[in-house]
Structure 1
Amino acid sequence: MLETCQQFQSGDITKDRYTIVEQIGGGLYSAIFKGICKNQTASQHVAIKFQNITLDCPQLTNEILILQALADCKHFAQIYGQGIHKKYKFVAMELLGPSLHDLVNRKIPNKFCLHSILKFGVQAIDALQALHKIGFIHRDLKPSNFVIGSTVETSSKIYLIGFGISQQLNIKDGNIIKPSTKDSYQVAFRYASINAHLGKEFGRNDDLMSLIYILVELYTGSLPWANVNNPDEVLRLKEQYQDGSLLAFMPPEFKQFEDHILSLDYTTEPDYQLITSILFETY
């Protein structure tokens, strides 16, 4: 977001507490800076996300709501503060490390070993179960939305980020009800489920199917539709590979993982313990 980059410079102080160091990321609606939070006894590095207050988009509000609800879960960033500075809403949160996308692309052959994939998968399932438990679907799972911690102690811990288009499950009187309207999914289709291509409402099963695509890509180095830009052709390939052939180079236990996901619909709760046990059996 160019305007935000121009508004904030290194050394700027937000709310007399957060000193901006440098920009480390951003998107269409927001910009993220590395900063230093100072209090009476110590200082620590933080991530500060800014969003123009005049924009009619729920991304930052969504993120704050979710992170506050998951404050006690180890796979989500901690929030340190929030407010308004100049024309911008901001949230200061735990500074995290590089994403899986960054890590896998650091050296050839751009893929992870089986042990790393399984370790990631178990933590990803744990994170998704926590998110789903509070009634939200992520809807935008991809390697760049899984990151590791920024310290030695947290460098092996997986964090889930990127809640800009997350949505609440359709719950009525305590029951999950299949929505009657189509989903207006508008982001990249590389890791999206077949349901997303068809305009069906995202459910917990769709987050898990996205996770399978991510696991396959990180372990084998690619997906059959990786270089295809036409969404209809991507859909055709996903349907073609849904017969189990997508998992041809994965451990055989992954077929049970996929079969379980395909047995679910919007209203059915996934068996997270089953999926985790499948991954553990693969070790």
Structure 2
Amino acid sequence: MKQTKINNFDVIDTYRVIKTIANGGFGIVYFVRELGSNQPLVMKIERENVHKSSIEIEYSVLKQIQGSLYFPRLFGTGKLNELTFIVMEMLGPSLSRIKQYLPGNRFSLSTSLRLGIEMVCMLREFHARGFVHRDIKPANFLIRPESPSPICLIDFGLSKRFIDPLTGMPHQKQLSMSCFIGTARYASINAHKHIDLGPRDDMICWFNTMAEMILGELPWSNLNDKNEILKMKEEIEPKNRCKNLPIQFISIYDEIVKTEYDEFPDYDMILLFLSDALRTTTNKDSEPFDWEKLNEHLLEELFPPSVTRRISVGDTLDTLQPRNFSQVDRTQGVKVEQFQLLGDPEEGPVKTNKFCGCCNIE
């Protein structure tokens, strides 16, 4: 298949490409504007020669989780020279990017715990809809400014259906997976050992995410080899995993690891522990989030001008629904006016290291 190259200002279907946002192993992400309305959106286009299209998987999952403030609004899909693309709402920066702007390269305890509560709520809803994410990490939580939920979960290309829609029961556990799935820094030991992943494993990733947000790094943050990371994870005792974290995290970790593959973690209990940690350690449940305290110059660097729409508490789910899919699922008539891939002229595309079709290390 001939490599498709895209220039800034090309028109793809009814969207004009403005610039490249990210360039990863599965696809390329563009900032686009819808023709006519000029609405800022994000377009993700799959790469050639990917064994199984993560974009198509992501589109399938996104269709089934619409109507929630926890997940991106989906605007459409189509084909570009046989390559699938999806169009979603424009969101703010990721937690991993914001972290780089903070003192000590870490979030405050107040912001971390409040975001942790939001993350558990969105994972509970995602799991309740029958899916596991399999790549929970700071880079996959984006800011949604002035929304009732300050963050949004993204990137569902590695997600899988956990609940059989016909029986309402978990799918039978696979004996093994063909390769490592997820991001090694945050992944569960099960992921390293190619054991089938369930809601418990998403929560292990969440726990590691929380530890990094609060402490600034994980014990294995300076390692890149997956086997070395696994060895360290297996050697660290649970009490040392929770060292320098609020004492409630010992109970949270115990609550997660006792969960079996075909069970849901006790989200309510975990939320109680987080709320107790917030009350006893900071008692600052209404102060501005860390990114809201940054100076104006840093805020301009972090937040694109297009991320300005206010989503008020009064917005209903109806007003946040995407347009009718029958009107936007297009597979023909895609127009590409020019051909050459360009990144951000100042920074270039953001790259991620992919070691195989379903794994990565940051």
Same fold (TM over 0.5): yes
Matched residue, 1:162: 155
Higher RCO, 1 vs 2 (CA within 8 Å, ≥6 residues apart): 2
Matched residue, 2:175: 181
What is the CA–CA distance in structure 1 between the aligned matches of 2:258 and 2:80, rounded to whole Å?
A: 48
Please give the secondary structure, in 2, of the residue aligned with 1:275: helix
What is the CA–CA distance in structure 2 between the aligned matches of 1:72 and 1:203, rounded to whole Å?
A: 24
What is the CA–CA distance in structure 2 between the aligned matches of 1:216 and 1:3, rounded to whole Å?
A: 41
Matched residue, 1:22: 19
What is the CA–CA distance in structure 2 between the aligned matches of 1:124 and 1:238, rounded to whole Å?
A: 23
Kindly report structure 1 stretches of 4+ aligned residues shifted beyond 6 Å: none
Q: What amino acid does structure 2 have at the position aligned with 1:116?
A: T
Matched residue, 2:10: 12
Residue 34 (str. 1) matches residue 27 (str. 2): no
What is the CA–CA distance in structure 2 between the aligned matches of 1:242 and 1:128, rounded to whole Å?
A: 26
Matched residue, 1:148: 143
Q: CA deviation at 1:52?
A: 4.6
Q: Check conservation: 2:3, 2:48, Cα contact below 8 A.
A: no
TM-score by length of 1: 0.90
What is the CA–CA distance in structure 1 between the aligned matches of 2:228 and 2:219, rounded to whole Å?
A: 11
Q: Check conservation: 1:53, 1:87, Cα contact below 8 A.
A: no
Q: What amino acid does structure 2 have at the position aligned with 1:120?
A: L
**Structure 1 regions of 5+ residues with no counterpart?**
none
Q: Check conservation: 1:52, 1:87, Cα contact below 8 A.
A: no
TM-score by length of 2: 0.71
- 1:71-220 correspondence runs (5 A): 71-149=66-144, 152-154=145-147, 157-169=150-162, 171=164, 173-183=167-177, 184-220=179-215
Report the structure, 1 or 2, having the larger strand content: 1
Supply the RMSD in Å over aligned alpha carbons: 2.1
What is the CA–CA distance in structure 2 between the aligned matches of 1:68 and 1:209, rounded to whole Å?
A: 26
What is the CA–CA distance in structure 1 between the aligned matches of 2:16 and 2:263, rounded to whole Å?
A: 46
Please give the secondary structure, in 1, of the residue aligned with 2:70: coil
Question: Residues 170 and 226 from structure 1, CA distance in 2 versus in 1: closer, same or farther, beyond 3 angstroms?
Answer: same
What is the CA–CA distance in structure 1 between the aligned matches of 2:26 and 2:228, rounded to whole Å?
A: 30
Question: Residues 236 and 86 from structure 1, CA distance in 2 versus in 1: closer, same or farther, beyond 3 angstroms?
Answer: closer
What is the CA–CA distance in structure 1 between the aligned matches of 2:47 and 2:27, rounded to whole Å?
A: 7
**Structure 2 regions of 5+ residues with no counterpart?**
279-362
